[in-house]
Amino acid sequence: MEGLRTADVAVALELVEALGQNRTADPFPLDMLERLGALVGADVATGYCEGPLGDSFGPYELGTRPAPPWLPEALAGCGPEDPTHNIHRNMVAYPVAISDFLTPRAFARLAVYHEICRPLGAADSMRLYLPSPSGRARFFFFDRSSRGFELRSRTLLQLLRPHLVRARDHWRYPLEPPRLGLTRRQLEILSWVSRGLSNDEIAQRLWISEHTVRKHLENINHRLGVHSRVAAAVAFVTSEPSEDEVVLDATMPE
């Protein structure tokens, strides 16, 4: 464990313990991502993604930074220029960073830098891939405002990876009966509607497209037999939540 301090090991062990106690609707909940990002010096954003191999913005993405509305389209256009993209590195079993493959000058020549990384304030980004079913990708991303990740950060991730793999393999989506007959994602969106957020604000908060939010709301209205977001919100706030209901920023990854 070259380069690790006693405090690093202690925090890593706390994370391992938390992984074993996770019973939420996310394999790696937001508070865990925040702790993991702080551990490796990702001061811009940390996230976990799952989706079809080759996609730059998958159907499941939970991050510590709200996604700006332009991000999915930008990722679809130039995301594969990133040398750590899943289309290039999905099978690697160790952390990989953009700075491992590109000099600052070479990176600055790419559209992925000008259209994605620079607007987000990310000078470097590192990914840690987990084993995934055929045709799919599972990975964490760690964005930071300065170039280069320390050996300590990489060693910590390498140390934690077997535990992260085990946690994902053992995680199961909670099966409690949903409130109002809605899915957890629909309940989550409806909870934000009831607080007055617009479709665009909800999309940014949940890292999904505004089109996806609209589609969810259409399905919610159909399920509840109402014809407006106001009526749906009233149904939500006047209903009784189930005892074990957990409304979190994510959907079932698979």
Q: Looking at residues 86-109, what average pLDDT do you find? A: 98
Q: Predicted confidence band at 139 (pLDDT cuts at 50, 70, 90)?
A: very high
Cα torsion through 180, 174, 251, 154, rounded to 10: 160
- Give the pLDDT confidence score for residue 20 in this predicted structure: 83
Residues 173/27, Cβ–Cβ less than 8 Å: no
The angle that helices 229-237 and 210-224 make with each other, rounded to 10 degrees, is 70
pLDDT higher than 60, residue 60: yes
Q: Predicted confidence band at 204 (pLDDT cuts at 50, 70, 90)?
A: confident
pTM: 0.73
pLDDT digits (tens, 9 = 90+) for 216-227: 999 899 889 899
* Residue (of 188, 167, 192, 170) closest to 179 by Cα position: 188
The domains located in the chain, with CATH, are 6-170 (3.30.450.80), 179-237 (1.10.10.10)
- Give the pLDDT confidence score for residue 173 in this predicted structure: 66
pLDDT higher than 90, residue 150: yes
- Give the pLDDT confidence score for residue 250 in this predicted structure: 38
